[in-house]
A = this chain, B = another copy of it.
C-alpha cells in the first residue's frame, strides 16, 4: 500500500508548479506547452497519480453525482429502472449513488440526509409519500428532485416522470370490457399513492364508459410490500359474485398475486382473465403467456436523468416538469373473450 501521490508530488517530479499540473488535468483551463504537457502526463503515469474527486468537489460542488432512491432493487421494475438510469448517467459522465428505502419513511429520511451531506446535484426517487419537509429543504438547497413512477400531490413543485397511469388502467379495463367481461376486479397500489389512485380512476372511467356497474368490493388496494397482494387476490375470489377478469395494477405485487391465484388452482383465463402491469421477460414464459401493460422503462430513465441534471443547464423557468409517457398494451393469452349473455 503506497502513499498516494498528490498534485504537488507530480509538480515537483515534473519540475513545474501545481498550477501547470492542474491545467494539464483540466484541458482548456489555461495554456500549457505541448512538451510540458507530455512530461507531466508521463510523470502522472509513472507515479500512478489520480486526482482526488473529494478535493475537486470541495471547490465547486460539481454535478458529478446523482442520487437514486428506490423502494428496493429486487423488484424487477425498479431493477430495470436502476439499470437504465445508471447507463444513462454514465453516458453523461455522472455517477449514481444507489439507496433503498424499503418503503420506510424513517429510512427514507436517513438516506435523504446523507444525500444532502454529499451535496448530490440531483435525486431521482420513488418517494414513500412522507418526509415532506425534507423534500422541500432539498429543493431549497438547489438539489434537483425528480419523482419517478409516483408523485406527492402536496409537493406540486417537484418534477415528475411516470407512465400515464390513468390512461393505462383505463385502456386495460376497456379492453376487458370489450371482451365481454362485466365483473372486473382491480388490485392497485395503496390509496395513499398517486399511482394507486390514478389507476383506480382510469378503471372507473372505463367502467363508466362501458356502462358497467361499479362495485367497491371489486376494488382492492394493496401495500407495495408484504403479503397484501396475495390477500387482496384471495379476498376478491371469495366475494359473492366474483370477478371474471382482474387487473393487477400494483407492479410490486404482481408475482405475489399470481402465486396466490396459481395456488388456489384458478384457471387462467378460463375462470379468471388477468392483465398485469409488469414487463419482465418471464411474463411471456408462464402459461398462459400474460397480457401485460408494458412500462417503457428506458423512457422513464432517460427523462428522469435529463431532468435531474437540468438545473446544471440553468432551467430557471420555475415551472416543474411533468412528463407522462404512454404505456403499451401487449395482448397475449391470459384474457378470455366472453360470450355476451345478452
Contact = CB atoms under 8 A, between A and B. Distances in A.
Interface of A: 1-2, 4, 48, 50-55, 57-58, 61, 68, 72-74, 76, 79-80, 82-84, 86-87, 90, 95-100, 102, 107, 111, 113-114, 116-119, 137, 140-142, 255-256, 258-259, 262, 280-282, 284-287
A239 B57 CA distance: 60
A84 B255 CA distance: 20
B98 A96 contact: yes
A117 B53 contact: yes
Number of copies of this kind of chain in the complex: 2
Given A117-B53, A118-B54, A83 B72 contact: yes
Contacts of A137: 48
B285 A255 contact: yes
A287 B287 contact: yes
A316 to B, nearest CB: 10
Contacts of A73: 73, 79-80, 82-83, 86
Contacts of A256: 281
Q: Which 7 residue pairs spanning A and B have beta carbons closest together?
A: A79-B79, A1-B142, A73-B83, A287-B287, A54-B57, A282-B282, A98-B98
Contacts of A142: 1-2
A188 B316 CA distance: 53
Contacts of A79: 73-74, 76, 79, 82-83
Contact of A96 (B50, B97, B140): B97
A185 to B, nearest CB: 19
Contact of A54 (B58, B113, B140): B58
Contacts of A100: 83, 86-87, 90
A57 B52 CA distance: 10
Nearest to A110: B90
B99 A97 contact: no
A99 B95 CA distance: 8
Contacts of A287: 286-287
A99 B79 CA distance: 13
Contacts of A258: 285
A80 B76 CA distance: 9
Contacts of A95: 97, 99, 114, 118
A101 to B, nearest CB: 10
Contact of A53 (B80, B118, B259, B284): B118
Contacts of A111: 90
Given A54-B58, A79-B79, A282-B280, A98 B86 contact: yes
B117 A52 contact: yes
Nearest to A87: B100
13 contacts: A1-B140, A2-B140, A2-B142, A50-B117, A52-B58, A68-B98, A73-B73, A83-B100, A90-B111, A95-B97, A259-B281, A280-B282, A282-B286
Contact of A284 (B2, B55, B259): B259
